[in-house]
Amino acid sequence: MLAESELPTELSPFQSVDAAYPVELTRCYDALRRRLPVLIEAEKELAPYVYRSIRDRLKADGTRCLYLDGRASADLPPPPQGASLVGAMIHQIREVVRGAVGERIVVLPHLDILGASGGGGFLGAEARELIPLLYENPEVLWLGFKDPSFPLPQPITNLFPHRESIIGIPRDRLAHLITQREARKLGRGFDPYQLYKHISGLNAVRLRRLLGSLTGEDYPVDPSAAFAQLRTATLSNDVQLPNVSLETDIGGYAQVKERLKQEILAILSAKDKLNDPNQIARLEGLLPRGMIFWGPPGTGKTLFAKAMATALGAAVQIVSGPELKSKWVGESEENLRAVFMRARQSAPSVIVFDELDSFAAARGTYTGSGVEHSMVNQLLTEMDGFRKEELVFVVGTTNFVESLDPALLRPGRFEFALHIPYPNAEDRREILKVHDKRLELQMTEAAIDYAVKRSGEHVPGPSGGTNYSGDHLQALGRQLARTRLREGIEGPTDPAAIDKAIEQYLDLPKLTKSEELVVATHEAGHAITALGCKHVPPIDRISIRGDIGGALGYVQHADRAHRYVVTYAQLRDTICTMFGGREAEALILEDVSIGAGSDLHNATSIAKALVEEYGEEVPELAIGRWALHERDKNHSETTRTRLDNAIAAILEHERARCRAILTEKRGLVIALRDLLLERKVLDRASFAHLVT
């Protein structure tokens, strides 16, 4: 905290620049005194004030400057009539280089405009004319200015051995940039660290302009309105202030939330309570600036990034990885540079690179133009250029973390990896509750329970084959809301509405009675076999409605109690259950459909793994999954025959065991089949009376 009396009473823009950047200005002045050309990177609105501060220091030593901005100068011949502003500046540079300037320092306030590329990374006409002129007379001492948003050709940059970047405001100088009147608008006791996180990306001139425009009463009890006024003014068109609550807007994912809190939010919260600069700097050094949020599509990776930004009071830029890439040389890197520049100007901020793997895949795997390697280098350069006190975080989202360039994942870069998987049952329940409240669905507890159970299956329709993600659950909620609106439903949402929302627009197969009989017999066979195998998880649902893409029917099991340890007995029971459909058809219908083809393929794959990878039957010959492709080279014909016989023995043993279970419980298979034909879909409670 600083006492109000310690703050200045008035500050002009020129005084604020001197107060904000004394170290940078001194370095530039010293370099020029040593006859070193200087290039200053600063925003256009700041550059004139920086120049004046340096000029005043030089003037005190008797050194003069020649300012070349294209306007008429008494020291130079006038430009050709009708010349453009750029043409006039080129003319002035030519006259200076080929004339006599003495000890004067030649100032190029718009060097970025003169050196602009002609598109596609090629030099424009002005740049091609400018570069030889800049090198023509080594006696000329240059002071150049460029805006951070504009790149310079490398030959121009190389001309300047001393380069200074003046972006944002150093935190330790902030106390010198606010007047007593302005501090009164921010409450009692000025806390520069509290203010800094709202305005760290502003330059001194823009900050003074915004502080001067602060409205409201003096010494407000709650200064949040004044901080919000400042914060809003820091945003550009491509940057947004998110409003996503980690607790109320994102359901479930307790472990993911806890890790975010512990690793990021708790450290920042602790930092905000400190006043000692050394302790603050120590905590800032602990924060990971680069993060990878990885997991399947639709699980909320970007939503978590927005929630983190909301908790930090940070702005967000959502950047599509593929959209950054350009066919023009150098333009992709420039796109990246512009993203980081906007982030620093609006800090605290979070940059979210969606589909980071689109340009940051492991080197050697690129299939594009090769620009990806340059983009990765540019990304790392920008991240390495942050000041510690700058609250700029970079989040890369990807479905394939293993495909990312290892250079990105080393400590100090993207060192924080957060896995966001498909939601489990408890996560799905909490996500559904969020959408229930937001969309006013009035879901009963039974409806939520049923929706959790249904969403444990694979997604039906075009997305078939994937698990339900947060996006799928949101789509389910929106479908329920549309149905309620369309049909004028005002009462509670029941379980039947869940089925309707999931299936009403599915192109379900229209089976004949005889086809339904085959499918019902097949699924009943799977179910009864599973009930006879003690290592198979309980059955949650049986359907012959064709409501999962690619399957006319299915048996849905609960999650395994043990997810990480798998035994021989479990795999054997799985193989036995897979024979259930085929053997039931053969036993009861005395014919077999080709619908068992997938079951037989999967059963054979498991049996092969048991023998060749996991060592059952012939453990001395197990060759391991890493060497399967060498099988034919490494084993004799006799050995291969032993392996094949062992696989066949497992398959035949489990097929016979399945046949025995179904023969013993033939009446139960028929009863379950008939119940399926009647109801089409059964949950556990619907057939419990048959098996108890």
The catalytic residue positions are 523
CA distance 105 to 254: 62
Q: How far from each other are the two terminal CA atoms of the chain, in whole angstroms? A: 73
CA distance 672 to 684: 12
CA distance 210 to 246: 31
Place of tokens 């969606």: 354
Residue 56 · residue 244 · CB < 8 Å: no
Q: The tokens of 59 are what?
A: 């003037």
Ramachandran class of 252: left when φ > 0, alpha when ψ lies in -120 to 50, beta otherwise: left
Amino acid (one-letter) located at 115 = G
Contacts of 127 by beta carbon, 8 Å cutoff, 6+ apart: 114, 115, 116, 117, 118, 153, 156
CA distance 294 to 258: 16
β-pairing, 554-557 vs 539-543, is antiparallel
What are the backbone dihedrals phi and psi of residue 590, each rounded to the nearest 5 degrees, phi first?
A: 55, 35
Residue 659 · residue 583 · CB < 8 Å: yes
Q: Is 349 helix (H, G, I), strand (E, B) or coil?
A: strand
Q: The tokens of 426 are what?
A: 């408890």
CA distance 211 to 328: 41
Q: Is 390 helix (H, G, I), strand (E, B) or coil?
A: coil
CA distance 576 to 382: 57
Long-range contacts of 447-452 (CB under 8 A, 24+ apart): 447/492, 447/493, 447/494, 447/495, 447/497, 447/498, 449/495, 450/495, 450/498, 451/476, 451/495, 451/498, 452/425, 452/428
CA distance 677 to 516: 7
CA distance 448 to 429: 7
Give the H/E segment covering residue 255: helix 254-260
CA distance 385 to 154: 19
> Taking Cα atoms as reference points, which of 351, 333, 331, 352 lies closest to residue 342?
351
Contacts of 449 by beta carbon, 8 Å cutoff, 6+ apart: 495
